[in-house]
């Protein structure tokens, strides 16, 4: 059994309606994770635990607890949400360094996927802040400390650099649709393996840290950036391949 911890891929929208002298506020939660959760649920050998973004601050595993997993998928979550504790005004120190726990998890043989979005890598206005953190240290790319989003209204499909990698086993990439309408700009580390690129930017990268395996998808596994990807017939197969490779067993 491959135990996967998947966090993020949720957004809460708050709308204020104004009618003359009267106004009210409405809120709705958009679950952006279900595409990937459904894909992984198709393999009975994968046991997935998902923590949506609004619960990450409270429920991201402590350093000892994260060791019970085999693979972590970190998607569309700013590092403030993991570094900060809810009761941070009451305690110093706040608590254990959970990002350092994630680094130790990979160093000890765990698999880690860093996945793109408006709150990944640099993120919108640079607020994701993966730069200069233990998360960036273990990933196969470096992150920029500013807004790194590249929006592509006409859509794009990355060009494969290494078609033989296990990520693409049983997949005919030539028949893939326009997958993404944007991505995060990152820089590949010298020791990492570039698997797919667009306009000279790395989109899919594989790497290692300590005893563990890592990968980056610099775009989104869900809309809006990933609208084409979630409609791709090989979406499930790709993510199952990724998790099996990250598990490394």
Express each pLDDT in 106-119 by its tens digit.
Answer: 999 999 999 999 99
**Res 246: pLDDT:** 98
Q: pTM value?
A: 0.94
What SS3 state is found at 158? coil
**Res 232: pLDDT:** 95
Average pLDDT over residues 56-61: 96
Average pLDDT over residues 165-170: 96
Q: Is the pLDDT of residue 143 over 90?
A: yes
Residues forming beta bridges with residue 13, ordered by sequence position: 28
Q: Which residues, 6 or more positions from 88, have their beta carbon under 8 angstroms from its beta carbon?
A: 94
**Res 86: pLDDT:** 85
**Res 88: pLDDT:** 81
**Res 157: pLDDT:** 96
Buried residues in 99-137 as b, exposed as e (16+ CB within 10 A):
bebbbbbbeeebbbbbbbbbbbbbbeebebbbbebbbbb
**Res 16: pLDDT:** 94
Helix-helix angle 34-41:235-247, to 10 degrees:
70
Which CA distances in Å does 57 have to 62, 87, 103, 164? 11, 10, 18, 38
pLDDT digits (tens, 9 = 90+) for 191-248: 999 999 999 999 999 999 999 999 999 999 999 999 999 999 999 999 999 999 999 9
Alpha carbon 73 to its chain centroid, in Å, reads 6
Q: How many helices (H) and strands (E) does the chain have?
A: 7, 14
Residue 127 exposure: Cα atoms within 13 Å on the Cβ side: 8
Q: Is the pLDDT of residue 89 over 80?
A: no
Q: Name the residue range of residue 140's domain.
A: 2-247
Spatial contact of 141 and 205, defined as CB atoms under 8 Å apart: yes
**Res 94: pLDDT:** 87
How many domains is the chain built from?
1
Domain with residue 175: its CATH number is 3.40.50.880
Average pLDDT over residues 15-38: 93
Q: Which of 242, 203, 235, 205 is nearest to 221 (CA)?
A: 235
Which CA distances in Å does 135 have to 77, 132, 219? 11, 8, 17
């Amino acid at each position: 059994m491959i135990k996967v911890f998947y966090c993020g891929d949720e957004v809460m929208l708050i709308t204020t309606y104004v009618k003359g002298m009267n106004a009210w506020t409405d809120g709705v939660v958009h679950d952006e994770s279900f595409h990937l959760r459904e894909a992984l649920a198709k393999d009975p050998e994968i046991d997935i635990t998902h923590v949506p973004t609004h619960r990450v601050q409270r429920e991201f595993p402590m350093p000892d607890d994260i060791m019970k997993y085999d693979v972590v998928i970190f998607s569309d979550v700013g590092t403030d949400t993991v570094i900060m504790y809810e009761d941070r005004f009451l305690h110093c120190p706040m608590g254990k360094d959970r990002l350092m726990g994630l680094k130790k998890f990979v160093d000890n043989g765990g698999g880690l996927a860093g996945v793109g979005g408006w709150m990944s890598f640099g993120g919108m206005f640079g607020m994701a802040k993966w730069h200069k953190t233990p998360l960036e240290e273990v990933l196969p790319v470096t992150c920029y400390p500013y807004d790194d989003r590249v929006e592509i209204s006409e859509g794009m499909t990355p060009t494969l650099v290494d078609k033989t990698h296990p990520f693409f086993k049983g997949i005919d990439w030539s028949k893939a649709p326009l997958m993404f309408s944007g991505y995060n700009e990152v820089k590949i580390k010298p020791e990492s393996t570039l698997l797919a690129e667009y306009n000279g930017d790395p989109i899919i990268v594989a790497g290692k840290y300590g005893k563990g395996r890592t990968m980056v998808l610099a775009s989104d596994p869900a809309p809006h950036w990933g609208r084409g990807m979630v409609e791709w017939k090989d979406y499930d197969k790709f993510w199952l391949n990724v998790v099996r490779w990250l598990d490394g067993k």
